[in-house]
Protein backbone atom coordinates (compact mmCIF):
# COMPACT_ATOMS: atom_id res chain seq x y z
CA UNK A 1 0.00 0.00 0.00
CA UNK A 2 1.41 3.39 -0.97
CA UNK A 3 1.76 6.26 1.46
CA UNK A 4 -1.10 8.07 -0.33
CA UNK A 5 -3.62 5.29 0.33
CA UNK A 6 -5.93 5.73 3.34
CA UNK A 7 -4.79 3.66 6.29
CA UNK A 8 -7.33 2.00 8.58
CA UNK A 9 -6.66 0.88 12.11
CA UNK A 10 -8.57 -1.27 14.57
CA UNK A 11 -9.92 0.71 17.52
CA UNK A 12 -11.08 -0.54 20.90
CA UNK A 13 -14.19 1.58 21.48
CA UNK A 14 -15.37 1.84 25.08
CA UNK A 15 -19.12 1.42 25.18
CA UNK A 16 -21.63 1.49 27.99
CA UNK A 17 -21.83 -2.30 27.82
CA UNK A 18 -18.06 -2.76 28.05
CA UNK A 19 -15.16 -3.02 25.60
CA UNK A 20 -15.72 -4.23 22.06
CA UNK A 21 -13.33 -4.53 19.15
CA UNK A 22 -14.27 -2.42 16.17
CA UNK A 23 -12.54 -1.17 13.06
CA UNK A 24 -10.93 2.28 13.09
CA UNK A 25 -10.49 5.11 10.54
CA UNK A 26 -9.83 8.96 10.56
CA UNK A 27 -11.02 12.68 9.44
CA UNK A 28 -14.54 14.13 10.21
CA UNK A 29 -17.17 16.73 11.22
CA UNK A 30 -18.28 16.94 14.85
CA UNK A 31 -20.99 17.52 17.44
CA UNK A 32 -20.74 17.03 21.21
CA UNK A 33 -23.20 14.16 21.06
CA UNK A 34 -23.32 12.91 17.52
CA UNK A 35 -26.85 13.23 16.11
CA UNK A 36 -28.16 10.39 13.98
CA UNK A 37 -31.46 9.10 12.71
CA UNK A 38 -30.94 5.81 14.53
CA UNK A 39 -33.93 4.02 13.01
CA UNK A 40 -32.81 0.40 12.86
CA UNK A 41 -36.31 -0.93 13.50
CA UNK A 42 -39.67 0.15 12.08
CA UNK A 43 -42.68 0.87 14.25
CA UNK A 44 -46.14 1.68 12.95
CA UNK A 45 -48.42 4.26 14.52
CA UNK A 46 -52.04 5.23 14.00
CA UNK A 47 -51.11 8.85 14.67
CA UNK A 48 -51.14 10.84 11.41
CA UNK A 49 -48.01 12.68 12.56
CA UNK A 50 -45.46 11.56 15.15
CA UNK A 51 -41.85 11.99 16.17
CA UNK A 52 -39.78 10.40 18.96
CA UNK A 53 -36.40 11.87 19.96
CA UNK A 54 -33.68 10.95 22.44
CA UNK A 55 -32.88 14.19 24.25
CA UNK A 56 -29.24 13.40 25.08
CA UNK A 57 -28.13 12.97 21.48
CA UNK A 58 -30.97 14.52 19.48
CA UNK A 59 -31.36 11.24 17.60
CA UNK A 60 -34.71 10.70 15.89
CA UNK A 61 -35.85 7.20 16.82
CA UNK A 62 -38.99 7.32 14.69
CA UNK A 63 -40.98 9.86 12.75
CA UNK A 64 -44.07 9.92 10.59
CA UNK A 65 -44.89 13.01 8.52
CA UNK A 66 -43.33 15.12 11.26
CA UNK A 67 -42.76 18.07 8.89
CA UNK A 68 -46.38 18.18 7.76
CA UNK A 69 -48.14 21.45 8.58
CA UNK A 70 -50.79 20.88 11.26
CA UNK A 71 -53.10 22.75 13.57
CA UNK A 72 -51.31 22.48 16.94
CA UNK A 73 -54.21 23.43 19.23
CA UNK A 74 -53.09 23.97 22.83
CA UNK A 75 -49.66 22.44 22.22
CA UNK A 76 -48.71 25.84 20.76
CA UNK A 77 -49.02 27.24 24.28
CA UNK A 78 -45.50 25.87 24.78
CA UNK A 79 -44.20 28.85 22.78
CA UNK A 80 -45.83 31.30 25.19
CA UNK A 81 -44.51 29.27 28.13
CA UNK A 82 -40.99 29.37 26.71
CA UNK A 83 -41.10 33.15 26.35
CA UNK A 84 -42.50 33.57 29.86
CA UNK A 85 -39.72 31.36 31.23
CA UNK A 86 -37.23 33.59 29.43
CA UNK A 87 -38.60 36.66 31.19
CA UNK A 88 -38.29 34.90 34.53
CA UNK A 89 -34.77 33.68 33.84
CA UNK A 90 -33.46 37.10 32.78
CA UNK A 91 -35.07 38.85 35.73
CA UNK A 92 -37.67 40.81 33.78
CA UNK A 93 -40.38 39.11 35.82
CA UNK A 94 -40.60 37.21 39.09
CA UNK A 95 -43.01 34.52 40.15
CA UNK A 96 -44.57 36.97 42.63
CA UNK A 97 -45.24 39.71 40.07
CA UNK A 98 -48.90 40.23 39.26
CA UNK A 99 -50.44 40.86 35.84
CA UNK A 100 -53.81 42.54 35.16
CA UNK A 101 -56.86 40.66 33.83
CA UNK A 102 -58.72 42.45 31.03
CA UNK A 103 -62.33 41.86 30.08
CA UNK A 104 -61.06 40.22 26.89
CA UNK A 105 -59.12 37.66 28.90
CA UNK A 106 -62.00 37.11 31.29
CA UNK A 107 -64.48 36.49 28.46
CA UNK A 108 -62.20 34.07 26.56
CA UNK A 109 -63.82 30.69 25.88
CA UNK A 110 -62.49 27.18 25.84
CA UNK A 111 -60.38 25.82 28.68
CA UNK A 112 -59.99 28.38 31.47
CA UNK A 113 -58.32 28.91 34.82
CA UNK A 114 -61.24 31.26 35.71
CA UNK A 115 -59.41 34.51 36.37
CA UNK A 116 -61.55 37.39 37.61
CA UNK A 117 -62.05 40.48 35.48
CA UNK A 118 -60.12 43.57 36.68
CA UNK A 119 -58.10 41.50 39.14
CA UNK A 120 -54.37 40.81 39.17
CA UNK A 121 -52.87 37.31 39.08
CA UNK A 122 -49.38 36.23 40.06
CA UNK A 123 -47.04 34.92 37.37
CA UNK A 124 -46.73 31.71 39.37
CA UNK A 125 -50.49 31.13 39.25
CA UNK A 126 -50.70 32.09 35.57
CA UNK A 127 -48.00 29.57 34.67
CA UNK A 128 -49.83 26.78 36.46
CA UNK A 129 -53.08 27.94 34.94
CA UNK A 130 -51.52 27.51 31.50
CA UNK A 131 -49.43 24.37 32.10
CA UNK A 132 -51.81 22.39 34.31
CA UNK A 133 -55.23 23.78 33.36
CA UNK A 134 -54.45 24.88 29.76
CA UNK A 135 -56.18 28.18 30.54
CA UNK A 136 -56.84 30.29 27.47
CA UNK A 137 -57.72 33.21 29.72
CA UNK A 138 -54.34 32.98 31.43
CA UNK A 139 -52.57 33.03 28.06
CA UNK A 140 -54.28 36.27 27.08
CA UNK A 141 -53.37 37.85 30.43
CA UNK A 142 -49.70 37.05 29.77
CA UNK A 143 -49.83 38.11 26.10
CA UNK A 144 -51.45 41.47 26.86
CA UNK A 145 -48.99 42.15 29.68
CA UNK A 146 -45.88 41.37 27.60
CA UNK A 147 -47.01 43.11 24.39
CA UNK A 148 -49.43 45.80 23.31
CA UNK A 149 -52.04 43.19 22.33
CA UNK A 150 -52.49 39.45 21.94
CA UNK A 151 -51.91 39.79 18.17
CA UNK A 152 -48.67 41.67 18.76
CA UNK A 153 -47.54 38.97 21.17
CA UNK A 154 -48.40 36.28 18.61
CA UNK A 155 -46.11 38.04 16.15
CA UNK A 156 -43.40 38.00 18.82
CA UNK A 157 -43.99 34.28 19.28
CA UNK A 158 -43.48 33.69 15.56
CA UNK A 159 -40.28 35.72 15.50
CA UNK A 160 -38.85 34.01 18.58
CA UNK A 161 -39.81 30.62 17.17
CA UNK A 162 -37.79 31.32 14.03
CA UNK A 163 -34.80 32.20 16.22
CA UNK A 164 -35.20 28.87 18.03
CA UNK A 165 -35.19 26.96 14.74
CA UNK A 166 -38.94 26.36 14.40
CA UNK A 167 -38.97 26.30 10.61
CA UNK A 168 -42.69 25.84 10.01
CA UNK A 169 -44.43 27.58 12.90
CA UNK A 170 -46.65 30.66 12.62
CA UNK A 171 -48.70 31.90 15.57
CA UNK A 172 -51.87 33.95 15.20
CA UNK A 173 -52.82 33.96 18.88
CA UNK A 174 -51.41 33.01 22.26
CA UNK A 175 -53.76 30.13 23.02
CA UNK A 176 -53.83 27.71 20.08
CA UNK A 177 -57.44 28.65 19.41
CA UNK A 178 -58.28 27.66 15.79
CA UNK A 179 -57.26 30.46 13.41
CA UNK A 180 -56.31 30.57 9.75
CA UNK A 181 -52.53 30.34 9.45
CA UNK A 182 -51.91 29.31 13.07
CA UNK A 183 -49.73 26.29 12.30
CA UNK A 184 -46.82 24.18 13.50
CA UNK A 185 -45.35 20.74 12.73
CA UNK A 186 -44.76 17.78 15.03
CA UNK A 187 -41.01 18.28 14.49
CA UNK A 188 -41.25 21.94 15.56
CA UNK A 189 -43.28 21.03 18.63
CA UNK A 190 -40.67 18.44 19.61
CA UNK A 191 -37.85 20.93 19.03
CA UNK A 192 -39.62 23.47 21.26
CA UNK A 193 -40.16 20.86 23.98
CA UNK A 194 -36.45 19.99 23.85
CA UNK A 195 -35.52 23.65 24.29
CA UNK A 196 -37.81 24.06 27.28
CA UNK A 197 -36.31 20.99 28.98
CA UNK A 198 -32.72 22.02 28.24
CA UNK A 199 -32.99 25.78 28.79
CA UNK A 200 -35.21 25.96 31.87
CA UNK A 201 -34.62 23.00 34.20
CA UNK A 202 -35.39 25.30 37.14
CA UNK A 203 -39.02 25.62 36.00
CA UNK A 204 -39.60 22.33 34.24
CA UNK A 205 -41.02 20.52 37.29
CA UNK A 206 -44.27 22.46 36.88
CA UNK A 207 -45.14 20.25 33.91
CA UNK A 208 -45.37 17.24 36.24
CA UNK A 209 -47.99 18.82 38.53
CA UNK A 210 -51.21 16.84 38.25
CA UNK A 211 -53.64 19.43 39.61
CA UNK A 212 -53.98 23.13 40.38
CA UNK A 213 -56.65 25.04 42.28
CA UNK A 214 -57.41 28.67 41.46
CA UNK A 215 -60.41 30.74 42.47
CA UNK A 216 -61.52 27.70 44.51
CA UNK A 217 -61.78 25.64 41.34
CA UNK A 218 -59.59 22.54 41.21
CA UNK A 219 -58.64 21.21 37.80
CA UNK A 220 -56.52 18.21 36.82
CA UNK A 221 -53.72 18.10 34.30
CA UNK A 222 -54.98 16.62 31.01
CA UNK A 223 -51.71 14.82 30.29
CA UNK A 224 -52.57 11.10 30.68
CA UNK A 225 -48.91 10.05 30.93
CA UNK A 226 -48.58 11.73 34.33
CA UNK A 227 -51.02 9.24 35.86
CA UNK A 228 -50.09 5.99 34.16
CA UNK A 229 -46.54 6.06 32.78
CA UNK A 230 -43.55 5.70 35.10
CA UNK A 231 -41.03 8.47 34.57
CA UNK A 232 -43.37 10.80 32.68
CA UNK A 233 -43.08 14.45 33.70
CA UNK A 234 -44.54 16.59 30.89
CA UNK A 235 -45.49 18.43 28.80
CA UNK A 236 -48.80 19.36 27.08
CA UNK A 237 -51.89 18.05 25.38
CA UNK A 238 -53.97 19.68 22.68
CA UNK A 239 -57.41 19.15 21.21
CA UNK A 240 -59.82 20.84 18.85
CA UNK A 241 -62.46 19.27 16.65
CA UNK A 242 -60.42 20.01 13.53
CA UNK A 243 -56.99 19.11 14.96
CA UNK A 244 -57.96 15.94 16.78
CA UNK A 245 -56.15 14.84 19.94
CA UNK A 246 -52.45 15.57 20.28
CA UNK A 247 -49.78 15.23 22.93
CA UNK A 248 -46.21 16.32 23.48
CA UNK A 249 -44.77 14.18 26.24
CA UNK A 250 -41.49 13.38 27.90
CA UNK A 251 -40.34 10.61 30.19
CA UNK A 252 -37.12 9.31 31.73
CA UNK A 253 -35.95 5.75 32.28
CA UNK A 254 -32.53 4.55 33.42
CA UNK A 255 -31.02 7.97 32.89
CA UNK A 256 -32.43 8.44 29.37
CA UNK A 257 -35.04 11.03 28.41
CA UNK A 258 -37.28 10.70 25.37
CA UNK A 259 -39.48 13.40 23.86
CA UNK A 260 -42.58 12.34 21.94
CA UNK A 261 -45.14 14.21 19.82
CA UNK A 262 -48.27 12.58 18.41
CA UNK A 263 -51.06 14.49 16.70
CA UNK A 264 -54.39 13.97 14.97
CA UNK A 265 -55.64 11.05 17.07
CA UNK A 266 -59.32 10.20 17.37
CA UNK A 267 -59.95 10.36 21.09
CA UNK A 268 -58.33 10.65 24.50
CA UNK A 269 -57.99 6.89 24.96
CA UNK A 270 -56.20 6.40 21.64
CA UNK A 271 -53.89 9.32 22.45
CA UNK A 272 -52.93 7.81 25.80
CA UNK A 273 -52.40 4.29 24.45
CA UNK A 274 -50.32 5.39 21.48
CA UNK A 275 -48.13 7.69 23.56
CA UNK A 276 -47.34 4.92 26.04
CA UNK A 277 -46.72 2.36 23.30
CA UNK A 278 -44.26 4.54 21.38
CA UNK A 279 -42.36 5.53 24.52
CA UNK A 280 -42.10 1.88 25.54
CA UNK A 281 -40.76 1.01 22.09
CA UNK A 282 -38.16 3.76 22.20
CA UNK A 283 -36.86 2.78 25.62
CA UNK A 284 -36.87 -0.93 24.78
CA UNK A 285 -35.33 -0.95 21.31
CA UNK A 286 -32.70 1.79 21.65
CA UNK A 287 -29.95 2.73 24.06
CA UNK A 288 -27.26 5.38 24.43
CA UNK A 289 -23.67 4.22 24.11
CA UNK A 290 -20.79 6.33 25.41
CA UNK A 291 -17.93 5.58 23.02
CA UNK A 292 -15.21 8.07 23.96
CA UNK A 293 -14.52 10.84 26.43
CA UNK A 294 -13.09 14.21 25.42
CA UNK A 295 -9.32 13.95 24.97
CA UNK A 296 -9.31 10.14 24.96
CA UNK A 297 -6.80 8.37 22.70
CA UNK A 298 -8.70 6.55 19.97
CA UNK A 299 -5.70 4.99 18.22
CA UNK A 300 -1.96 5.46 17.56
CA UNK A 301 -0.97 6.30 13.99
CA UNK A 302 2.49 5.49 12.53
CA UNK A 303 4.74 8.40 11.54
CA UNK A 304 7.15 9.03 8.68
CA UNK A 305 10.47 10.54 9.71
CA UNK A 306 9.19 11.36 13.20
CA UNK A 307 11.32 11.34 16.34
CA UNK A 308 8.75 8.93 17.79
CA UNK A 309 7.24 5.90 16.09
CA UNK A 310 3.60 6.92 16.46
CA UNK A 311 1.34 9.80 17.40
CA UNK A 312 -1.79 9.38 19.55
CA UNK A 313 -5.07 10.26 17.85
CA UNK A 314 -7.48 11.96 20.26
CA UNK A 315 -11.11 13.02 20.06
CA UNK A 316 -12.05 16.56 21.02
CA UNK A 317 -15.41 16.05 22.74
CA UNK A 318 -17.38 13.35 24.51
CA UNK A 319 -19.04 11.04 22.00
CA UNK A 320 -22.35 9.35 22.84
CA UNK A 321 -24.52 7.65 20.23
CA UNK A 322 -28.12 6.50 20.28
CA UNK A 323 -28.75 3.35 18.26
CA UNK A 324 -30.81 0.22 18.27
CA UNK A 325 -29.45 -2.63 20.33
CA UNK A 326 -29.29 -4.78 17.18
CA UNK A 327 -27.30 -2.15 15.25
CA UNK A 328 -24.93 -1.70 18.18
CA UNK A 329 -23.85 -5.34 17.90
CA UNK A 330 -22.73 -4.76 14.29
CA UNK A 331 -21.21 -1.31 14.73
CA UNK A 332 -17.70 -0.63 13.43
CA UNK A 333 -15.47 2.25 14.48
CA UNK A 334 -12.46 3.05 12.32
CA UNK A 335 -9.66 5.62 12.43
CA UNK A 336 -8.68 6.66 8.91
CA UNK A 337 -5.62 8.68 7.81
CA UNK A 338 -3.07 9.08 5.05
CA UNK A 339 -0.22 7.13 6.51
CA UNK A 340 2.36 6.94 7.66
CA UNK A 341 1.76 10.54 8.69
CA UNK A 342 4.73 12.80 7.89
CA UNK A 343 6.43 14.62 10.77
CA UNK A 344 6.61 17.23 12.20
CA UNK A 345 3.18 17.41 13.83
CA UNK A 346 1.76 19.90 16.32
CA UNK A 347 -0.49 18.84 19.16
CA UNK A 348 -4.10 19.64 18.23
CA UNK A 349 -3.47 19.32 14.50
CA UNK A 350 -6.19 17.38 12.70
CA UNK A 351 -4.54 14.32 11.21
CA UNK A 352 -7.26 11.67 10.94
CA UNK A 353 -10.99 10.93 10.85
CA UNK A 354 -13.15 8.75 13.06
CA UNK A 355 -15.71 6.77 11.04
CA UNK A 356 -18.62 5.03 12.76
CA UNK A 357 -20.86 2.70 10.77
CA UNK A 358 -23.81 0.53 11.76
CA UNK A 359 -26.77 -1.04 9.94
CA UNK A 360 -29.64 1.35 9.15
CA UNK A 361 -27.71 4.22 10.70
CA UNK A 362 -26.20 7.20 8.92
CA UNK A 363 -22.40 7.00 8.82
CA UNK A 364 -20.74 9.40 11.26
CA UNK A 365 -17.40 11.03 10.44
CA UNK A 366 -15.63 13.08 13.12
CA UNK A 367 -12.13 14.66 13.23
CA UNK A 368 -9.25 13.19 15.21
CA UNK A 369 -6.36 15.32 16.40
CA UNK A 370 -2.72 14.75 17.25
CA UNK A 371 -2.41 14.25 20.99
CA UNK A 372 1.26 15.32 21.18
CA UNK A 373 3.93 17.38 19.46
CA UNK A 374 6.18 15.24 17.29
CA UNK A 375 9.49 16.50 15.91
CA UNK A 376 11.19 15.46 12.71
CA UNK A 377 14.23 13.20 12.61
CA UNK A 378 17.58 14.88 12.29
CA UNK A 379 19.68 14.70 9.12
CA UNK A 380 21.36 11.43 10.07
CA UNK A 381 18.04 9.85 10.96
CA UNK A 382 16.45 10.98 7.70
CA UNK A 383 19.36 9.60 5.68
CA UNK A 384 19.04 6.29 7.52
CA UNK A 385 15.32 6.20 6.86
CA UNK A 386 15.82 6.92 3.17
CA UNK A 387 18.46 4.19 2.90
CA UNK A 388 16.21 1.74 4.72
CA UNK A 389 13.38 2.54 2.32
CA UNK A 390 15.61 2.04 -0.74
CA UNK A 391 16.91 -1.28 0.55
CA UNK A 392 13.83 -2.75 2.18
CA UNK A 393 10.96 -0.71 0.77
CA UNK A 394 9.66 -0.03 4.28
CA UNK A 395 8.95 3.37 5.77
CA UNK A 396 11.19 4.31 8.71
CA UNK A 397 8.82 5.61 11.35
CA UNK A 398 11.12 6.35 14.25
CA UNK A 399 14.65 7.19 15.13
CA UNK A 400 16.91 4.17 15.53
Whether the CB-CB separation of 260 and 249 falls below 8 Å is answered with yes
Q: Has 134 been annotated as catalytic?
A: yes
Alpha-carbon distances of 149 from 108, 118, 216, rounded to whole Å: 14, 16, 29
Instruction: Catalogue the E-assigned strands of the chain.
Output: 6-15, 18-22, 49-54, 60-64, 98-100, 120-122, 211-214, 217-220, 232-240, 244-253, 256-265, 286-292, 297-304, 310-314, 319-324, 332-338, 341-342, 350-358, 361-370
CA distance 248 to 53: 11
Catalytic residue among 59, 66, 77, 111: 77
Catalytic residue among 59, 64, 66, 74: 74
Question: How many CB atoms are closer than 10 A to CB 375?
Answer: 13
Strands 120-122 and 98-100 turn out to be antiparallel
Those residues with Cβ within 8 angstroms of residue 111's Cβ, 6 or more apart along the chain or in another chain: 74, 133, 134, 135, 136
Question: How many CB atoms are closer than 10 A to CB 20?
Answer: 17
Whether the CB-CB separation of 256 and 247 falls below 8 Å is answered with no
Whether the CB-CB separation of 262 and 45 falls below 8 Å is answered with yes
Catalytic residue among 76, 102, 134, 250: 134
Q: Has 77 been annotated as catalytic?
A: yes
Nearest-10 Cα torsion for 53, 201, 227, 84: -100
CA distance 221 to 128: 10
CA distance 92 to 101: 19
DSSP 343-364: SPB-TT-EEEEEEEEETTEEEE
Strands 361-370 and 310-314 turn out to be antiparallel
Strands 341-342 and 297-304 turn out to be parallel
CA distance 361 to 322: 10
Could you write out the three-class secondary structure of 129-194?
HHHCCCCHHHHHHHHHHHCCCHHHHHHHHHHHHHHCCCCCCECCCCCCCCCCCCEECHHHHHHHHH
Catalytic site positions: 74, 77, 134
Amino acid sequence: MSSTDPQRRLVAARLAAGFVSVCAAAAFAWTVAATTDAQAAVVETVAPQAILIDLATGSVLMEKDSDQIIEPASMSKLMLIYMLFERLADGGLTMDDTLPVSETAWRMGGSKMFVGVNTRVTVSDLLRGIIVQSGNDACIVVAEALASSELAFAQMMTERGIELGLRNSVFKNSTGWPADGHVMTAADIARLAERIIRDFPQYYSMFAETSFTYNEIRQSNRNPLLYSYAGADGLKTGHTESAGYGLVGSATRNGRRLVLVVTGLENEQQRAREAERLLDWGFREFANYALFRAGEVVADAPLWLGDTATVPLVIQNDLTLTMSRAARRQMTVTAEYQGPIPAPIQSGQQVATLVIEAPDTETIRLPLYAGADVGRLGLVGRLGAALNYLVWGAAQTAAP
